[in-house]
Structure 1
Amino acid sequence: MDFWREPESKRVDDPSWLHPQSNSSSCFRSMKSGKAEKCIFFPGPIIVGAGPSGLAVAACLKSKRIQSLVLERSDCIASLWQLKTYDRLRLHLPKKFCQLPLMPFPSWFPTYPTKQQFIAYLDAYVAEFNIQAVFNETVVAAEYDAGIGFWRLRMASAKGEGKEEKHEYVCRWLVVATGENAEAVVPEMAGMEEFEGPIVHTSLYRSGDSYRDKRVLVVGCGNSGMEVSLDLCDHNAHPFMVVRDSVHILPREMLGRSTFGLSMWLMKWLSMKTVDRFLLLVARLMLGDTAKLGLERPQLGPLELKSLTGKTPVLNVGTLAKIKSGDIKVRPAVERFTRHGVEFVDGRSEEFDAVILATGYKSNVPCWLKEREFFSEKDGFPRRPFPNGWKGGNGLYAVGFTKRGLLGASLDAWRIAQDIELRYKATKK
């Protein structure tokens, strides 16, 4: 991995004072059963989630000579990227907005790295900072124990052959890095159980190769829905895309610059509403009136809508041309499923061979974190919006919940590492 390093880069040494310690003989009581069980005390921060956000925090801590422990329920880092994304995926934003702290992308990477390149970058990132991760570790419940002043994490570890080992971790600082996309959202729609063809979420979609010559309904028109529809086209399938709501579609680049980068530059001098008006004017000139294609725009501008709701505008990578040509057909919301197809809200009925749900993801924090002040039970996000949603009470932190992608996660990773460093020094004193 030497080619990933800057010429003067130096590997951060592991501090000798931090190693997991098994304290089975004197461990605390189990949170629910009251029975003693295997307990692992870790004196540094524990990070739940080995995605890009969790790795960023671990690297920032390492730069301050603080060793963390990363717990991951899957068997690899960045499991969403490695196991639940389609083959043609690329970063939607230029690489300079997606690199993690302390290690830029290689200069020879393209502006929009592929899925495989991004995964290789993350593997090199783990190696560069010697990040410790324990895989197949699922947090069943995490709760702050005020009596001892530590967080207690009740775990279920996969041990093969369907067996699980239950134990606890105890730590002073807990970083929640499971992110915005922990669980696939599969909406309930009338008649789904009657449909005889396959219905899969995009997390299970890899390529349109197995859908050749088939009529495929893609439910959802976000970036994933648009790209999956385009991929189906490229593999000679016949995609139909359900547009249930209004959507902003913007060119990926404007005036020779990335739309995102141009927006951030303009925001230094102009108000958000003014930048939104500029973006929509240029989009209209470059893309035409999308409403004529069944793609109505929201009342709020793309940046304002993103700021208020987290809804990301779609960056066009070629899908719109296929919609204009009729290769991708737009349909309204689904009324109900039938044995061989779908009835739409406009009264039209059509037959389909398969359905792909591009219906997004959600946070799973409320399922396991026993805490109600910092995280919302409703959506699993910090109650305070960016930039104030990274720190809770009692040594609890959040990263990857900014609705601002990897750039927002990197900013929060630095804040978390700096705060833990201060608290660690105070603890030593």
Structure 2
Amino acid sequence: MQGQEEAAAGSPAESCQIVHVRGPIIVGAGPSGLAVAATLSRHAVPFTVLERSDGIADLWTNRTYDRLRLHLPKVFCELPHARFPADFPAYPSKHDFLRYLRSYAARFGVAPLFGRTVTRARFDAAAALWRVTAVVSAGGRAAATEHYASPWLVVATGENAEVVVPRVKGRERFTGEVLHSSAYRSGERFKGKRVLVVGCGNSGMEMCLDLCERGATPFMSVRSGVHVLPREMFGRSTFGIAMSLLKWRLPIKLVDWLLLLVARLVLGDTAKHGLRRPKLGPLEIKNITGKSPVLDVGAWSLIKSGNIKIVPEVESFISGNGVRFVDGNEMAFDAVIFATGYRSNVPSWLKQQDDGELFTEDGNKAKAQQQQQQTSNGHWLGPKGLYCVGFSGRGLLGAGADALSAAADIAGRWQEWAAAAPGPKISSSV
């Protein structure tokens, strides 16, 4: 396997063995993990990729709706060292993107070890190694436990590892269908039904569009303000225009003002239809919270026409198929879809270090860590050989930049380490 160290998979009786990996351990085989591995491969640095699912890009493969397309033009979504095929559309579908990722992995010899769920990673100061424990699953059941050790650990599980479903009072009383957007594929089976979509981000808006086109009656519950922008302005992508303006070193507040001015001309006053805009501009909010503005792909016209109805935040479920909103009104629905996003799961397995918190309980990079890193190396470098790729809040573009930086740093350290510790070793002591 090019660039990949073979792990010693074994039975539970063999689980005390430790595989000393030549090169870094990469946790996660999504776009971030693949980008790091591919770049390491170009540096001739070996690596081991551990992935809990049975294939690459589990989120894109198993937890996205059928009509999904990249919301940004393909030029902003390419991973390092490989362009999208010329015949791909400007906004590739999820199937296009998965084809690209599989080709990418094959091209750079990235062969992850699938079915490995990392349950613990800690830094052993005495040995100056990261010790990683993974449960091996076969046929949906835990079959063995493996232990790995390396001077470097790359956290590439991303910001979207676990679904987020808010706790709503009375949910157990609701007799209709309740699901997270990760389980939604198409609005076809909701034809003729009243469906409440909780959440007004890009996914919530597009699912409402899909439901409407499939003959359902969608309602979208909006809790707070949201910026809706046209996907394109003046024949160019809105994101591309924003990036060009920022490259000209225009202040972010001025760029936001220009974007909102054009959005008002193109879309009108969104507040008149129930979507009030936040006080801060879209790019400013993105920088502070990581929350992206909605890039409209057709839902806005259906909101204006009343085919997609805007309702307030949900207060509780009531008996039968009823929902009560914070304004006191009640309505009945056949189904409720929570388009409430995802979170990182890193805190559940990465043990915090004595020299500071790396991730908060909700899976975000700790503020102190972010502030320290933003002055020198972005979001990707942690202490003691730890690298975090895909946590900058800048999507695929940011993940690619992080991967290039992390892999280059590892490659520089690898040369010295490889000379002192050539070849993999197996130890029987934990």
Same fold (TM over 0.5): yes
1:248–1:297 Cα contact (<8 Å) kept: yes
Residue type of the partner of 2:296?
N
CA deviations 1:110-154 (Å, max 9, x no partner) are: 110000000000000011001020111000111111121111111
Map 1:122-133 onto structure 2 (within 5 A): 122-133=101-112
**1:118 equivalent among 88, 97, 106:** 97
1:23–1:40 Cα contact (<8 Å) kept: no
CA deviations 1:24-64 (Å, max 9, x no partner) are: 9xxxxx9xxxx971322211111000000000000000000
CA deviations 1:238-290 (Å, max 9, x no partner) are: 00000001000000001111000000101122110111000000000000000
Shift of 1:166: 1.3
Q: 1:8 maps to which residue?
A: none
Q: 2:267 maps to which residue?
A: 287
- RCO comparison, higher one (Cα < 8 Å, 6+): 2
2:15–2:147 Cα contact (<8 Å) kept: no
Q: Verify: 1:397 aligned to 2:380, yes or no.
A: no
**2:309 equivalent among 307, 315, 329:** 329
Q: For the aligned residues, what is the CA RMSD?
A: 1.7
SS in structure 2 at match of 1:218: strand
Q: Verify: 1:88 aligned to 2:67, yes or no.
A: yes
Q: 2:332 maps to which residue?
A: 351
**1:258 equivalent among 233, 237, 258:** 237
**Residue 106 and residue 201 in structure 1: after superposition, are their counterparts in 2 closer, same or farther (change >3 A)?**
same
Q: 1:14 maps to which residue?
A: 2
Map 1:185-196 onto structure 2 (within 5 A): 185-196=164-175
Q: Verify: 1:376 aligned to 2:362, yes or no.
A: no
Task: Supply the distance in 1 between the matched residues of 2:108 and 2:115 (Cα, whole angstroms).
Answer: 21
SS in structure 2 at match of 1:134: coil
Residue type of the partner of 1:408?
G
**1:207 equivalent among 186, 200, 211:** 186
Q: Verify: 1:51 aligned to 2:30, yes or no.
A: yes
Residue type of the partner of 1:286?
V
SS in structure 2 at match of 1:295: coil
**2:396 equivalent among 396, 399, 406:** 406
The alignment covers a number of residue pairs equal to: 406
SS in structure 2 at match of 1:196: coil
CA deviations 1:201-260 (Å, max 9, x no partner) are: 000000001100000000000000000000000100000000001000000001111000
Q: 2:136 maps to which residue?
A: 157
Segments of structure 1 that go 5 or more residues without pairing to the other structure are: 1-12, 25-29
Shift of 1:378: 3.0
Task: Supply the distance in 1 between the matched residues of 2:208 and 2:128 (Cα, whole angstroms).
Answer: 51
Q: Verify: 1:422 aligned to 2:401, yes or no.
A: no
Task: Supply the distance in 2 between the matched residues of 1:177 and 1:418 (Cα, whole angstroms).
Answer: 16
Shift of 1:422: 0.9
Q: 1:313 maps to which residue?
A: 293
2:2–2:110 Cα contact (<8 Å) kept: no
CA deviations 1:310-342 (Å, max 9, x no partner) are: 111000000010111111000000111012120
Task: Supply the distance in 2 between the matched residues of 1:376 and 1:22 (Cα, whole angstroms).
Answer: 30
Task: Supply the distance in 1 between the matched residues of 2:103 and 2:43 (Cα, whole angstroms).
Answer: 19
CA deviations 1:291-320 (Å, max 9, x no partner) are: 000000000001111111111100000001
Shift of 1:170: 1.3
Shift of 1:196: 0.6
Residue type of the partner of 2:19?
I
- Percent identical residues: 54
**Residue 43 and residue 243 in structure 1: after superposition, are their counterparts in 2 closer, same or farther (change >3 A)?**
same
Task: Supply the distance in 2 between the matched residues of 1:22 and 1:249 (Cα, whole angstroms).
Answer: 50
Shift of 1:67: 1.8
Map 1:92-111 onto structure 2 (within 5 A): 92-111=71-90
SS in structure 2 at match of 1:109: coil
SS in structure 1 at match of 2:130: strand
1:305–1:311 Cα contact (<8 Å) kept: yes
**Residue 291 and residue 42 in structure 1: after superposition, are their counterparts in 2 closer, same or farther (change >3 A)?**
same
Residue type of the partner of 1:334?
V
Q: 1:10 maps to which residue?
A: none
Q: 2:428 maps to which residue?
A: none
SS in structure 2 at match of 1:375: coil
Task: Supply the distance in 1 between the matched residues of 2:271 and 2:41 (Cα, whole angstroms).
Answer: 50
Shift of 1:22: 4.4
Residue type of the partner of 1:310?
G
Residue type of the partner of 2:384?
N
Shift of 1:167: 2.0
**2:42 equivalent among 57, 63, 87:** 63
**Residue 125 and residue 161 in structure 1: after superposition, are their counterparts in 2 closer, same or farther (change >3 A)?**
closer
SS in structure 1 at match of 2:66: coil
Residue type of the partner of 1:20?
E
Residue type of the partner of 1:40?
V
Residue type of the partner of 1:331?
V
Task: Supply the distance in 1 between the matched residues of 2:55 and 2:177 (Cα, whole angstroms).
Answer: 28
1:23–1:39 Cα contact (<8 Å) kept: no
Q: 2:252 maps to which residue?
A: 272
Shift of 1:164: 2.6
